[in-house]
Amino acid sequence: MVSAEAWHEMDEQAKRILETRLSARKFVDITGPKGWNYAAHSCGRLEIQKEQPPKGVMYGIHEVLPLIEARAVFDLDLWELDNITRGLKNPDLTPLEEATKHIADFEEKTIYTGLPSAKIEGLLQAGHGRSLAIKTPSATGILETVSQGLYRFQEDGVSGPYALVASPVFWQKLHSATECYPLAKNLKDLLGGPVILSSHDKGSFLVSIRGGDMELIVGQDFSLGYIGNEGQKGTFFLTESFTFRVINPEAIILLTTS
């Protein structure tokens, strides 16, 4: 049996990792959690079928997004969990930590690059037709490109505040540029919103964070469960259910390097 103290420590460690790894949740709208029984999210549209029955009856099918159920399974030493009850402050929860990283990365990848089998278009696809190239990786070049992006938002009627979602490589460039110091502060002032470090390594984005443009729908939010044990090894899982949709692609601009 796993003690309440051990469950609490496991929960807290998973939360710490999720908070640092889930970058998309910092700028998209979050709906829910709606619970395990929430299996699909309505897109608010009927798909009228081309072939209709005779005698004047017409029908349409609701367009919905099915929720994904993700699960990461891992083993922990039950003696080590008992040691938490005995007062151990630094238990070895490495398998939990790795499982948390894996399931967080799955959510991140789904939001950024999409998942066609689940009818999810990612930010990369949504922003592909609205990209801007950063011609020079200097501070001046970055500021010029961001300014161009904000001008495009204004032209399209996309209000702010805005955020810059930076890939790890672009993040390093932002913090190593010596011109326009401090560049990150200048960008925040320009955007009216944050500069966010993303785990996604294939592109950076300018996004509006006014709300209503990108939505993460959560059924069951991240939760830990217990499967069983064999000897001194307990088998656990971390799970969630979700889907994602881009409502207004105009609120996303993909930044590329030439």
C-alpha distance from residue 120 to each of 29, 50, 112 (Å) = 16, 24, 10
Angstrom distance (rounded) from CA 43 to CA 256: 30
Beta bridge partner(s), residue 132: 255
Percentage of residues of the chain with pLDDT beyond 90 = 77
Among candidate residues 21, 36, 80, 31, the one with its CA nearest the CA of residue 241 = 36
CATH architecture of 1-48+55-258: 2-Layer Sandwich (3.30)
Percentage of residues of the chain with pLDDT beyond 70 = 98
Does 147 score more than 70 pLDDT? yes
Does 177 score more than 80 pLDDT? no
CB distance 227 to 73 below 8 Å: yes
With tokens 């505040």, the residue in question is: 161
What order of strands is seen across the sheet that includes strand 195-197? Answer: 131-134, 252-257, 204-208, 162-166, 195-197
Mean pLDDT on 29-47:
95
pLDDT at 42: 95
Long-range contacts: 119-122, Cβ < 8 Å, 24+?
A: 119/65, 119/66, 119/243, 120/65, 120/68, 120/243, 120/244, 120/245, 121/245, 121/246, 122/244
Mean pLDDT on 16-24:
96
Domain boundaries along the sequence of the chain: 1-48+55-258
Question: Buried (b) or exposed (e) across 186-203, using 16+ Cβ within 10 A?
Answer: bbbeebebbbbbbbbeeb
Beta bridge partner(s), residue 75: 235
Amino acid at 229: N
Mean pLDDT on 22-35:
97
Question: Buried (b) or exposed (e) across 133-161, using 16+ Cβ within 10 A?
Answer: ebeeebbebbbebbeebbeebeeeebeee
pLDDT at 140: 85
Question: pLDDT tens-digit profile of 78-113?
Answer: 999 999 999 999 999 999 999 999 999 999 999 999
Higher pLDDT: 241 or 178? It is 241
pTM, two decimals, is 0.92
